């Protein structure tokens, strides 16, 4: 089975070769402009399907407010700001994303959620949040981001650094399926093409293992099946306390 899977994966790698070439010669950077337009639609649809899950997850945010009663949230890979409406009123938000072309959509989310105090948008990948000082925030949020970062361990180290002791990383991420399933098979076979349409997204990651291996003191993590297409059906949801 593993051999058959490898052969099929190779086939799709060959199919993806023209896209790899486009990436290599730099045309792919045009895609960075187009992706936010697509993500805007995807995020709206995702919120519809995952509304209850997000509501439940974020209902607990206020418990992590700092000693002065203010809740300071930083989002990594914030995209279009699809999580804003789930944040409690009065909280302060810093958004970060390596793709500057999200700013327009972010502004729309800021205007639509004036219960929040928006601080700034920092163009930065989550592997390197040098604009943010140590222990600066109460909560970090990551939804659908750890599938596309280049080094999950490094990201979790950075998140841990910028959180105050007792602060928490909230996550909702799609992950690889159980190896006994067809979903697992298809995730591996279709990954080479998916990578390009999903802006570097990898559906074959066992992200919970990185969370388990990280420095967080307390990890509340659940595996759930999201009501989404098979490729991104298996999800993990929860939070990790520094």
Ligand X SMILES: *[C@@H]1O[C@H](CO)[C@@H](O)[C@H](O)[C@H]1NC(C)=O
Ligand Y SMILES: C[S@@+](CC[C@H](N)C(=O)[O-])C[C@H]1O[C@@H](n2cnc3c(N)ncnc32)[C@H](O)[C@@H]1O
Nearest to 236 by CA among 50, 28, 112: 50
User: At closest approach, how far in Å is the CB of 68 from ligand X?
Assistant: 17
Stretch that binds ligand X, among 79-87, 152-160, 191-199, 222-230 (CB under 6 A): 152-160
DSSP secondary structure letters along 180-227: TSHHHHHHHHHHHHHHHHTTS--TT--HHHHHHHSS-SEEEEEEEE-S
Which of ligand Y, ligand X, none interacts with 63 (beta carbon under 5 to 8 A by kind)? ligand X
Q: Which residue is nearest to ligand Y (CB)?
A: 79
Instruction: Give the span between the Cα atoms of 145 and 142, in whole angstroms.
Output: 6
Nearest to 175 by CA among 218, 140, 146: 146
Q: Which of 15, 18, 153, 222 binds ligand X (CB under 6 A)?
A: 153
Q: Which of 151, 219, 221, 231 binds ligand X (CB under 6 A)?
A: 151
Which of ligand Y, ligand X, none interacts with 133 (beta carbon under 5 to 8 A by kind)? none
Sign of CA dihedral 54, 142, 207, 163: negative
Q: Establish if 43 lies at the interface with ligand Y (CB under 6 A).
A: yes
Q: Establish if 29 lies at the interface with ligand X (CB under 6 A).
A: no
Instruction: Give the span between the Cα atoms of 77 and 141, in whole angstroms.
Output: 9
Which of ligand Y, ligand X, none interacts with 125 (beta carbon under 5 to 8 A by kind)? ligand Y
Helix (H) or strand (E) holding 240: strand 234-241
User: At closest approach, how far in Å is the CB of 17 from ligand Y?
Assistant: 23
Chain positions contacting ligand X, by CB under 6 A = 60, 63, 151, 153-154, 157
Chain positions contacting ligand Y, by CB under 6 A = 39, 43, 76-80, 82, 97-99, 102, 125-127, 143-145, 148-150
């Amino acid at each position: 089975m593993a051999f058959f899977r490898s052969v099929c994966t190779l086939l799709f790698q060959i199919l993806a070769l023209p896209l790899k070439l486009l990436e290599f010669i730099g045309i792919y950077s045009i895609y960075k402009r187009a992706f936010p337009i697509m993500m805007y639609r995807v995020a709206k649809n995702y919120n519809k399907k995952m509304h209850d899950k997000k509501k439940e997850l974020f209902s607990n945010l206020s418990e992590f407010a700092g000693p002065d009663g203010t809740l300071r949230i930083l989002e990594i890979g914030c995209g279009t700001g699809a999580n804003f409406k789930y944040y409690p009123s009065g909280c302060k938000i810093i958004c970060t994303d390596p793709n500057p072309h999200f700013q327009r959509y972010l502004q729309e989310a800021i205007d639509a959620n004036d219960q929040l105090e928006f601080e700034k948008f920092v163009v930065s990948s989550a592997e390197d949040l040098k604009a943010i000082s140590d222990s600066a925030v109460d909560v970090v949020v990551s939804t659908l981001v750890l599938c596309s970062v280049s080094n999950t361990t490094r990201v979790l180290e950075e998140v841990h650094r910028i959180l105050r002791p007792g602060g928490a990383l909230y996550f909702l991420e799609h992950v690889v399926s159980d190896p006994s399933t067809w979903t697992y098979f298809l995730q591996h076979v279709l990954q080479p093409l998916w990578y390009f349409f999903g802006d570097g997204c990898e559906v074959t990651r066992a992200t919970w293992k990185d969370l388990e291996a990280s420095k967080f003191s307390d990890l509340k993590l659940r595996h759930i099946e999201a009501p989404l297409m098979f490729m991104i059906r298996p999800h993990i949801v929860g939070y990790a306390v520094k």
